[in-house]
Structures are given as structure tokens and as C-alpha cells.
Chains A and B, each alone.
Chain A
Amino acid sequence: MKAFIVLLIGILLLFSACEIHKPSLPVWDIELAIPLVNELYYVSDLVDSVNIIVGENDLVYLTGSGEVDTPDIGRVALSPNINESGIPIPSGVNQDIDLPFYDSADNALLTYGELASGSIRIRFNNVATETQMLRVSIADITSSNGNPLTMTYDGSDEWQIIDLAGYHFGVYNSMQDLSSLDANLQTSSSLPDGTILGTMDIMLNDELEFSVFQGRLNHLEVGLNSSSASIDIDYPNDIDQAITLSDASLQLDVINYMGFHCEFEGFFEARRGEVVERIQIVDANGNNFQIAPADATGPGFSSLAFDNNISALMQIMPEHIEIVDAKFTVDSQSGYGTLRQEDRIRANYTVNAPFRFMLHEHTITVEEAVKINISQDNRDYISNDLLEAGLEMQALNRIPIGGWARAYFGDTPDIDTTDPETYLFSKQLELHSSETHPDWQDLERLTLSRSELELFTQAEIYLKWEFSFEESQSLVEVYAGSGDYIAVRSMLHGKVRINTERN
């Protein structure tokens, strides 16, 4: 029995000698590899059909458009010189009188007009008391309802001033010069026929302003509204120092609401600082462009194309482009036509600059640092669990543009990329052009050490970008076809602390 107890105690001792600790998980670190992105970034995605368009052969164009116009043409003024006095008035007659009508300034020949302002004066002198009726009508001047202008003796010998606003001169669309006005005198009295009843004076020598004018003009100039004829270009981050555009073209679509042919004269002027480049806006033969008139069906359209003519302007990477000394001219060569006072000339211009340029190695620094807010959860996670992070990247560049981008991280917005004291660390990525690297490129792995990750435990951090293009040895052309893209794939690597008590 004793031996059994000894053996039993021995077995129990073996058991009890073994201490089994309470289950508790330690902390350890693991590496996680998480796919981040695998995307094709097509050049065609940049095309917004507004500022960036795809042209022939899928070449990408930077396009800009705007509208320029002239002020309203306004009223056409004409200065007649009718001043007839002492015209005898016989009794019992129906007599025609021819009043010569011409522009004393010799600028216009009227065939038809709607008068906006102007007047005619008439005075009857020493009219016999036996006079029963005395009336003068002008058939070439009609009211809006078609009645000829009629002036009647009213017993007074004072000047009658008749406001002609709203009266029409001549016949609409007759295109017959109105060189004289046909007046008609009608009288009746108790005196024998032929007896002189008195005299009359007629004056039409004040300026007439027509709101609608048909006829010929010897000279009319209409300038552009200067404020609408200029473009200011603000190149972001001095990118103009890294790019030289090869060529550009401009198309001017002119909409002419005037019923006259006219000629367009003007210059494009580009400025970059003190450098001024100016070219004359003329056709391929060096002649001024002719603008078609409006007709009964609507305004006249003229499309003026400047193929490659403005390349010289674009190559200075202008900060300001303006159409200067521009005017539309109507002259005797323009023939007969119609003008309304609200008529104007409007032009839509489109500047197309193909993505064909030279790239220069020039560091471009984005002026403003980007503020990044980091949530408390993420800060806690980074602070407690994330030990290292890295980004493994590959890229397939199908675009003949290469370069590098460098990100500067700091805890203040005052990051000066030239002063390491103002930021905590920087990371750089380099992507080569498809011309030199047609296959997948292994981009330099970006890693963040534990000390660098400490920055991300702050609520706000700042990021400033700096980048530069690879110098191109020749002109670079960017297309937007299905094979023009940058493919990027990357894997996020993180060293993470497993802490089951906290997690």
C-alpha cells in the first residue's frame, strides 16, 4: 500500500511539476502585401472635348475658343441738302415738284431707309384768303402704314416742322437710288385757275439717321470690342519653361449680320514679358479676308483658317494674345446692301495647339503645399501597429513623355524644397519615356521607415510636389488612341504589429 501511495504521489508530482501558463498571445510583426492598383490611364481620359480634343490620327490638341465682336453698327447718317424757297403756289392745280436728294457728305446712296430721327420743315407765305385747300405730299416718304407724307396749309405762315421718325424713304429692296423726292402740290380756291395763291419754302437739310439703311456706302469702318479680343494665359507652376510648343493653328468663324460684304484687317499680337510677336491676319495669298454679307436667309458666315500661321506666336509661350488693330471695312466695292442699327459682326475663334512639343528638363515646383488630414483612427493605427510601409510599383509607359516626381512631406505648409530644414523627408518616383523604355519599368520602391511614419501620426501633414520632364531630343507627339496609356500596378507592403489585446 505504501509503495502504491509513493508511486501515486510520484505520478501526481509529475503532473503538478508541470506548470501550464494561462493562454496569452504575445505581440509579433508580420509583413502584409496588399495589391494597391492595376489600372490603365489612357491619354483619351484627358480628353474633355472642351479644352483637350482629339484630332486627326488621334493626335491630341489643346484647344481654346472664345468670341469677339464689334459694337452695334448703329444708325446710318445721311445729310441731304434740300432747301427750296419761294415756290409759287398756283390755284386749282395738281402739280409735281422734284426735290433733289443726295448725301452732301457723299458717303451714302440711299435706296430705302427707315428713319430713326430727322425732320422736314415747310412754310406757306402770303396765301390768298380765297384759298380753300392747299396740300403738299411726298410719295417717297411714307408713314409706317404706307401713306405718303402730307403737309397742309393751316392758315399760319409760320414754319411747320414735321418729325420724320418712323417714316420710310424709298421702296424696300428696290435697290434703286433715291436721288430725288417726288412732291405733289394740290390747291383749290375761288380764284381762277392759275392764279398765284402764295409761295412756300421746304427745307430738308438736317441730318437724317436711319435705323434701317439700304443702298450703298462709300466707307464704313467697324472696330472690334477690344476687351473681348484678348486672351491671358496663366501657365501653372512655370510649366511654360519646360515646354516649347511646336505649332498651332487658329480658325476664325465670322458671323456677319450686316447685309454688306466687308473686308477684315487685323493682327495677332503675342506678348511674353518684353517679347512681342505680331503677325498679320491675312489669307494664304497675303490678302485681307473678305467677309460674306447677311442675306434674306440669315447672317453671312465666313471661316478664316490660319494653318500654322500662328506657330511663331505660340513658340514664345505667350502670356497674352490679342487681336489688335482689327476692323471690318465696308466700301464702294461692297455694292448695295442693307444695314440695321443693331447689326454687328461676331467671330468665334478657336486656337488648336497639337500635343507636339519639345520638353526641357526643368524642375517645376507646385507652389501650394497640399494639406492632408489624417483621422484619429488612422493615426492610432499608424502609431501602434504600422512599423514600416513600402510601395512596389511597375509602370508601362506608352507615352513619349518621361520625368520624375518628388514629394516633400512636412508638418508645416512652409515647405521650401531647397531647404531640408523645412520638410521632414522626400520621396521620388521616376518614369521614363516610351521612347527609351518601351516595356514594363520597375519603379524605385518607395519605403517609409518607422521614423518617417511618425509624421503620419499628426492630425495634419503637408505635401509639396516637384516634378520635371525628361529632356526630349526631338518633337514629342501625344496621341489618344487605344494604345496610348500609362499602365500602373503596385503593391502596398506594410510591416504590421499584431497585438491581439489591442486589436
Chain B
Amino acid sequence: MKKIILLTLLALLCFSLFAVPTAKSLFFADSYMLRANGVEALYWNPAKLAIHQHIDLWLPALNSGIQISNNSLDLDTYNYFVTQDTLSTQDKELILNKIDGSISVDGSASVSVFGITLGNTAISSSAHMYGKGELSKDFLLLAFYGNTEEEYVFTKANNNASLISYVDLTYGAGDFKIPFIPENYPQIKAGFAASLLAGVQSIDTQEFDLHFSSTMEEGANLHSEVLLRSGVGGMGFKGLLGMYSEITPWLEAGITVDNVLGAINWNIANEVRRFSASADSVYISNIEEDIVQTSNEKEKIGSFTTKLGTEMRLAALYKHPIVTVSADWVQGFSESTVSSKVGRLSLGAGFLPVPYLPVSVGISLPNSRHPVKVSYGVGIKSKGNEFNLALQSFDSLVPGYKSKGFSFGVATRIWF
């Protein structure tokens, strides 16, 4: 049991360290589909790959982002918790009231390796890691109050962890005009990107069942079964199809479908680890040495495939000489480490108060899985390059003690 908890915590920690499709998206709280161009368009909308008609260059690590967040606890609560000598009932309630059903932690990171555009094509590589974990509120109730209920049931629905990391090598082409569009209709351009994925590691929870009861009539009973599947080394593919149209000189609209045929086949070192524990009708009066039967079995398995859930993104961008405003709606078609079936709306705005000083803000509205996310970005721009920094706050308009997570991004572009 101890090993299970440790592994779960480790997994949660790992998941918290990585994510983000490209760093620049952090600047607009992911309302970025119609803002991405150049190499970045390979990951957001390849139709806009050649929009600037110059060579765009990505250098290693200069386009990187990291995100850590959870759905329940802010920094204030964390500080309060770790600075208390003794936790009163009110303190416990303060923490528990912030949790709705379960505490989930998300993390993602991306690090650029290289990238270059050549005409309407581009090639790039970047490393990605996505992870998420979820723990039922009942675990905290147990930890804070003890087993005040007669029965506890934990399932995979609220208790799981998954992690996937890979490096992509992506080629894409865009700026293709959709034929047969009537002349008086806005031009629609399309693009595609195809990524070869070199899987680094995958961990996912296949089973999580834990049943614990403690009654006078039946004693203490424990039945748990946790199955973690992991894979190291794999190959995969994903495709991104995108279209956009400049409806008016001030308004663009676009649509993308990401992770098309997205999957990684893990085939080098794969295993499943099964942790099980059981104890039946345990009473102190009949305790023997081994009251809990535990097993920790590791088994090599053959190759398996992790599907990257397909996502559709709809976006609109309003352009003004000094301000741009965008809205993105992302909707996954399946639950996976990189996708969610719960849709999300993001809004972004970019300003250029002075020609060399781009400023951005963004907000991603909350849904049942994620708190509101607010981005602030600032950069310095000159002819041929720009450098940007962005900060993101979760569940708080201003990054601070009320934030339930932070993201930090660095974006550097060179073009000529």
C-alpha cells in the first residue's frame, strides 16, 4: 500500500512538471490558434504556416513553457496548511471545502528543439510531456478525520494518474487555397502537419479499485487492486489539419482537428505492475502476523498503443492596429492524457502600446475540470526577432496567493 501511495505521489509530481503545446500559447491562455504562425503554426494551425512569407527559426529551448495546476488548493491554503502547528476542525473544513469531489493535478510542458519554415512548409521538433492525476476527496477525509464512515469505495473515476512524454518531428505545409470557393466568398486556406512521435515514457492507470470497510458485524475488510501500465520507448504519429479564412481584413476564423490518427505504440520495455492487498474480517482479537495479504507483481507485456485523443478547435480573431482579440473553443472527442471531452473557451487579447512592446492577456474560462486561467505576457520586439515572457495564474485574476497553479513561458522567435 505504501508503495502504491508513493508511486502515485511520484506520478503526480512528474505530471506536474510538464506540458503546454507551444510556449507562446501561454500568453493568451491558449486562445492561440489563429495567432500562431511560422514554426508555431505546425502545432496550432498549419494553414497559417507561411503567412509572413519569411523564414522563421526556432532555437533549442528558447520556446518553452511549463504549467502546474490543481483544481482545489491555492497557494494561500498551502501556506496556511504548512505553517499551522495544529490542524483544528475548522482548518480541516477550510481545506476540504475547497475540494469538490476530488483533487486533480494537471501539468504539461513543452521544450523546443529546433524549427524552421521554408516557404509554405516547415519542419520542427519539440519535446512534450503531459500528465494528470486525481485523488478522491475521501482520501483526505480519511486522513483528516479517520474512518468515520463504515465503508469507503475508491474507483478509477476519481483516483488515477497518467503520464505521457514524447519528442515530435513535425513536418507541415500550409497556405493551400481551398478551391471552388466562389469569388465573392472569403478565401479559405488549409494546411496540414504530420508528426512522427518518439515516445519516451507512458504510464497510465488501468485499474484502481479500493474498498475498505470497518464494522462491528464484519470487521475490517480491505480489497484493493491497482494496475499501472508503463511503457518506455515507442513510435507514433499524429496529424493536424487546419483551415482558416480571413473573413474581413479585421476578422479571421479557423478550425483545426488535432491528433488525427494520433497514437504511440510502445514496444521496447513495457510492463504492468499490479498492486493488490486484501484483508477479510479482521478483528484485533484474531490478528495474526499477516493480516493483510499483499502482492506486488511486475509482468513484462507486449507492445501497446496509447491513443492521443482527437481534439477540435474553433477560433476567431479580431484584428485592430493596436489590439487583437481572439476566442478559441476546444473540444476533445475522447478522454486521454492529452485531451478532454469537456470543452473549454479561451479568450485572448494582444496589444502593441508601442511598436516594440507587445503585451498580451488571456483568460480561459473555467469548466468542471479546470479553474479559470488568466495569462499575462510581455515581450520586446524588433525587426527580425522578439523575446517574450508570460505568466499564467489559475483560479485567480492576478498571480498570487489565491492562484491554484502557475504557468511560465518563454518564447523567442527569429525570422529573416
Question: Min CB distance, B398 to chain A, in Å?
Answer: 7
**101-115 of chain B: CB within 8 A of chain A:** none
The A-B contact count (CB < 8 A) is: 110
**172-198 of chain A: CB within 8 A of chain B:** none
Contact B283 A35 (CB under 8 A): yes
Contact A17 B400 (CB under 8 A): yes
Contact B82 A25 (CB under 8 A): yes
Contact B75 A14 (CB under 8 A): no
Task: Write the chain A residue with the least CB distance to B214.
Answer: A33
Do A394 and B216 form a contact, CB below 8 Å, given A7-B378, A25-B82, A32-B146? yes
Q: Is B148's beta carbon under 8 Å from chain A?
A: yes
Question: Min CB distance, B294 to chain A, in Å?
Answer: 19
Binds A, one of B43-51, B318-326, B350-358: B350-358
Q: Is A296's beta carbon under 8 Å from chain B?
A: no
Binds B, one of A218-226, A265-273, A332-340, A486-494: A486-494
Contact B391 A32 (CB under 8 A): no
Question: Min CB distance, B414 to chain A, in Å?
Answer: 18
* Chain B residues with CB under 8 A of A28: 86-88, 91-92, 144
CA distance A19 to B85 in the complex (A): 18
**17-69 of chain A: CB within 8 A of chain B:** 17-28, 30-39
Q: Is B4's beta carbon under 8 Å from chain A?
A: no
Do A14 and B391 form a contact, CB below 8 Å, given A7-B359, A20-B75, A21-B79? yes
Q: Is B250's beta carbon under 8 Å from chain A?
A: no
* Chain B residues with CB under 8 A of A374: none
Contact A18 B214 (CB under 8 A): no
Question: Min CB distance, A139 to chain B, in Å?
Answer: 83
CA distance A26 to B83 in the complex (A): 7
Contact B359 A30 (CB under 8 A): no
Q: Is B81's beta carbon under 8 Å from chain A?
A: yes
Contact A31 B145 (CB under 8 A): yes
Which residue of B214, B285, B378 contacts A8 across the interface (Cβ within 8 Å)? Answer: B378
Q: Is B210's beta carbon under 8 Å from chain A?
A: no
**459-503 of chain A: CB within 8 A of chain B:** 489-492, 496, 498
Question: Min CB distance, B128 to chain A, in Å?
Answer: 25
Contact B354 A34 (CB under 8 A): no
Task: Write the chain B residue with the least CB distance to A28.
Answer: B87
Contact B284 A26 (CB under 8 A): no
Size band of the A side of the interface? 35 or more
Contact B220 A27 (CB under 8 A): no
**378-411 of chain B: CB within 8 A of chain A:** 378-380, 389, 391, 398-401
Do A30 and B86 form a contact, CB below 8 Å, given A11-B376, A14-B400, A36-B284? no
Contact bitstring B67-98, A, C-beta under 8 A = 1, else 0:
00000000100110111111110011000000
Contact A30 B143 (CB under 8 A): yes
CA distance A22 to B78 in the complex (A): 10
Contact A496 B79 (CB under 8 A): no
Contact B85 A38 (CB under 8 A): no
Contact B83 A392 (CB under 8 A): no
Task: Write the chain A residue with the least CB distance to B378.
Answer: A7
Size band of the B side of the interface? 35 or more
Which residue of A19, A36, A392 contacts B285 across the interface (Cβ within 8 Å)? Answer: A36
CA distance A25 to B143 in the complex (A): 12
Contact A19 B79 (CB under 8 A): yes
* Chain A residues with CB under 8 A of B217: 38, 489
CA distance A257 to B285 in the complex (A): 54
Task: Write the chain A residue with the least CB distance to B380.
Answer: A4
CA distance A11 to B374 in the complex (A): 13
Contact B379 A34 (CB under 8 A): no
Do A18 and B401 form a contact, CB below 8 Å, given A4-B357, A26-B87? yes
Question: Min CB distance, B95 to chain A, in Å?
Answer: 11
* Chain A residues with CB under 8 A of B359: 7
Q: Is A105's beta carbon under 8 Å from chain B?
A: no
Do A35 and B216 form a contact, CB below 8 Å, given A15-B399, A26-B85, A30-B144? yes
Contact B400 A3 (CB under 8 A): no
CA distance A197 to B395 in the complex (A): 154
Task: Write the chain A residue with the least CB distance to B401.
Answer: A18
Question: Min CB distance, A28 to chain B, in Å?
Answer: 4
Q: Is A275's beta carbon under 8 Å from chain B?
A: no
Contact A35 B146 (CB under 8 A): no
Task: Write the chain A residue with the least CB distance to B381.
Answer: A4
Question: Min CB distance, B142 to chain A, in Å?
Answer: 8
Contact B398 A14 (CB under 8 A): yes
Do A31 and B148 form a contact, CB below 8 Å, given A14-B399, A20-B79? yes
Question: Min CB distance, B5 to chain A, in Å?
Answer: 14
* Chain B residues with CB under 8 A of A19: 79
Question: Min CB distance, B303 to chain A, in Å?
Answer: 39
Contact B285 A15 (CB under 8 A): no
**183-229 of chain B: CB within 8 A of chain A:** 214-220
Contact A4 B378 (CB under 8 A): yes
CA distance A297 to B69 in the complex (A): 100
Q: Is B251's beta carbon under 8 Å from chain A?
A: no
Q: Is B267's beta carbon under 8 Å from chain A?
A: no
Contact B87 A38 (CB under 8 A): no
Question: Min CB distance, B153 to chain A, in Å?
Answer: 17
Do A26 and B86 form a contact, CB below 8 Å, given A32-B147, A37-B285? yes
CA distance A18 to B144 in the complex (A): 27
* Chain B residues with CB under 8 A of A11: 376, 378, 389, 391
Most buried by A among B146, B214, B217, B378: B146
* Chain A residues with CB under 8 A of B169: none
CA distance A28 to B82 in the complex (A): 12
Contact bitstring A377-392, B, C-beta under 8 A = 1, else 0:
0000000000000001
CA distance A7 to B361 in the complex (A): 13
CA distance A496 to B147 in the complex (A): 12
* Chain A residues with CB under 8 A of B286: 37
Contact B399 A33 (CB under 8 A): no
Task: Write the chain B residue with the least CB distance to A27.
Answer: B86
Contact A38 B389 (CB under 8 A): no
Contact A26 B400 (CB under 8 A): no
Contact B399 A18 (CB under 8 A): yes
Q: Is B13's beta carbon under 8 Å from chain A?
A: no
Q: Is B282's beta carbon under 8 Å from chain A?
A: yes
CA distance A30 to B354 in the complex (A): 59
**146-164 of chain B: CB within 8 A of chain A:** 146-148
CA distance A24 to B79 in the complex (A): 10
CA distance A75 to B108 in the complex (A): 113
Closest 10 CB pairs of A and B: A30-B146, A28-B87, A31-B146, A37-B285, A26-B84, A7-B378, A35-B219, A489-B216, A4-B380, A35-B283
Q: Can you name 19 A-B residue pairings with CB atoms under 8 Å?
A: A1-B356, A17-B400, A18-B399, A18-B401, A19-B79, A26-B87, A27-B87, A28-B88, A28-B92, A30-B146, A31-B146, A32-B146, A34-B220, A35-B219, A36-B283, A37-B285, A37-B286, A38-B217, A490-B216
* Besides the known contacts A7-B359, A21-B79, 14 further A-B residue pairs in the complex with CB atoms under 8 A apart: A1-B356, A14-B391, A14-B399, A20-B79, A21-B83, A30-B144, A32-B147, A35-B214, A35-B215, A35-B282, A38-B216, A38-B281, A492-B284, A498-B143
A-binding residues in B (CB < 8 A): 75, 78-79, 81-88, 91-92, 143-148, 214-220, 281-286, 353-354, 356-357, 359, 376, 378-380, 389, 391, 398-401
